[in-house]
Amino acid sequence: MPLKKLEKPTKKMSEKKVRVRFAPSPTGPLHIGGVRTALYNYLFAKQNGGDMILRIEDTDSNRYVPGAEDYIIESLEWLGIKFDEGVRYGGNYGPYRQSERRDIYKGYVNQLLDASKAYIAFDTPEELDAKRAEIQNFQYDASTRLGMRNSLTLSKEEVDELINNGNQYVVRIKIEPDENVIVNDLIRGEVVINSSILDDKVLYKSADELPTYHLANIVDDHLMEVTHVIRGEEWLPSAPLHVLLYRAFDWQAPEFAHLPLLLKPDGNGKLSKRDGDRLGFPVFPLEWIDPKTGDLSSGYREAGYLPEAVINFLALLGWNPGNNQEIMNMDELINLFSLVHCSKSGAKFDYEKGKWFNHKYIQSTSNEVLAEMFEPILAEKSVSAPRETIVKIISLVKERVSFVKELWDQSSFFFVAPTSYDEKTRKKRWKEDSADMMTQLMAVLSGVENFSSENTEAIVKNWIEENGYHLGNIMNAFRLALVGEGKGPHIFDITEILGKEETLRRINNAIVALS
């Protein structure tokens, strides 16, 4: 019997169970670009039967904003982006908050130090600023590090003394110069960068005993067995550093995919958190009140967007299914998503198209569900009606709206009789004989037993025909009387909901007011 080989075969990344992470830092509300990154991670994970991890990258204690973490979680839950593990969700790779992983990072920092892949530096921020002011394009790297105060230029004793005396220090990665570092990007292909243009990035700061993003990120992704790093393009320039870090640890790097940025709809630059109210539309999923300033930023949820519409809209900003399909729900997106179909260039955020998506999703939402969403708005306007009536009203006006709140603009006349009449419509539609016609119409309607749309319409049209009256003239004046302006759904659908009494009352009001 042959001996079994004991060594574990090293699996390729592509053969491992897919694990991706969304790793925001809690420095404020999650903006829409971050949401898209989370979405793409989610779609990729679910398509491959993998796991989605939520990790909170709070290694900058100065920028921590209370409430941001809750906000991020609530936002993604609202949108239907679900995590398999992470902060609040648990899992076997925790803790998932980087501030709770101090001790883990320390060990790896020491490992790098011991292997001479990193070194300790004592230069203060002030000293560095002075250097940068003095020397153009100063960079802390192989060409300059020997002229700085660090463990490469100081003796072991001096270093120990400085530390023991309480001097703050940082640990920097020691980048070997003049080497071509290859980043294999799933979206962009091979990106080659010469290591000489990289600087000896700070990996760890003694001041708060926390690593910087770069180190924490690599350590966590490795420990959490992340297979695919899908993140914004702003990380592409530091990807070579990350590759070098994996190499320094002798770890297998995950696959990288750098997503194109979401750009401002006007002018230039990436869509930023501040663009929110400047541009007059939300850039946040949920409303956010800045805990310091009290400033309020609008959110998609509060603006009346359906989460499905936001997801669909966002999915298509930087990716497409390769055919002409535009309306896709989450399951379809999971099915169709592909990193190779992600575009390489930034996408300008087109708010108009976002509205169109919401219109589409409103149309496919049931009248019952819309009624539920509409009722709080009606309550705000101090009007009410039986659910059944509201559902009926919605069925008449929904196709004209893109947002639930617009339902009120289209249907307020059902709840409140007109108190004034649109001047333009009055001039055009209320003729010499309108009062007379309306008076006759009242008589006709008074005799109608069954006020259903079809029945009333048949009777009225019959009356018009028998007398040889002008259909348009009568109907337009009738509409003005009922609605107060020249718009609205089919007139007999309106009268059916209004009922005989209210219909007659409104006609009478109009005759009095307009004659």
Catalytic annotation, residues: 273
- In angstroms, what CA-CA distances link 50 with 21, 42, 225, 228, 481? 11, 9, 12, 10, 61
49-74 residues labelled b (16+ CB within 10 A) or e (exposed): ebbbbbbbbbbbeeeebeebbebbbe
Nearest to RNA of 3, 143 (CB atom): 143
What phi, psi does 185 have (nearest 5°)? -105, 130
CA distance 99 to 383: 51
Minimal CA–CA distance to 509: which of 438, 453, 448? 438
Nearest to RNA of 191, 377 (CB atom): 191
Strand ranges, E, within 188-264: 189-194, 202-205, 210-211, 228-232, 255-259, 262-263
CA distance 436 to 475: 13
What phi, psi does 320 have (nearest 5°)? -150, 155
Nearest to RNA of 16, 205 (CB atom): 205
Q: Shortest Cβ distance from residue 193 to RNA (Å)?
A: 5
- Taking the C-alpha atoms of 326, 329, 333 and 334 in order, what is their torsion angle to the nearest 10 degrees? -170
What is the 8-class DSSP label of residue 236? G
Query: Which three-class secondary structure state does DSSP give residue 141?
Result: coil
What is the 8-class DSSP label of residue 284? B
**CA 207 to centroid of chain Cα atoms:** 35
What sign has the CA pseudo-torsion 495, 499, 503, 506? negative
Q: Shortest Cβ distance from residue 239 to RNA (Å)?
A: 8
Query: Which three-class secondary structure state does DSSP give residue 207?
Result: coil
Strand ranges, E, within 260-359: 262-263, 288-289, 296-297, 347-348
Nearest to RNA of 287, 326 (CB atom): 326
Nearest to RNA of 5, 292 (CB atom): 292
Q: Shortest Cβ distance from residue 383 to RNA (Å)?
A: 21
Q: Shortest Cβ distance from residue 7 to RNA (Å)?
A: 36
Q: Shortest Cβ distance from residue 257 to RNA (Å)?
A: 12
Q: Shortest Cβ distance from residue 259 to RNA (Å)?
A: 10
**CA 328 to centroid of chain Cα atoms:** 16
Nearest to RNA of 223, 471 (CB atom): 471
Nearest to RNA of 278, 387 (CB atom): 278
> What spatial distance separates the first Cα and last Cα of the chain, rounded to whole Å?
109
Q: Shortest Cβ distance from residue 148 to RNA (Å)?
A: 11
Nearest to RNA of 46, 201 (CB atom): 201
Nearest to RNA of 117, 479 (CB atom): 479
Minimal CA–CA distance to 55: which of 236, 219, 235? 219
- Tokens matching residue 8: 């574990």
What phi, psi does 61 have (nearest 5°)? -65, -25
- In angstroms, what CA-CA distances link 489 with 292, 353, 396, 402, 427? 48, 26, 6, 16, 21
Percent of residues in the chain assigned helix, strand, coil, to nearest 5:
50, 10, 40
CA distance 84 to 97: 15
Q: Shortest Cβ distance from residue 124 to RNA (Å)?
A: 4
Minimal CA–CA distance to 204: which of 284, 54, 273, 104? 104
Q: Shortest Cβ distance from residue 312 to RNA (Å)?
A: 11
Q: Shortest Cβ distance from residue 50 to RNA (Å)?
A: 22
CA distance 216 to 268: 32
Neighbours of 138 (CB within 10 A): 16
Nearest to RNA of 343, 439 (CB atom): 343
What sign has the CA pseudo-torsion 287, 292, 293, 294? positive
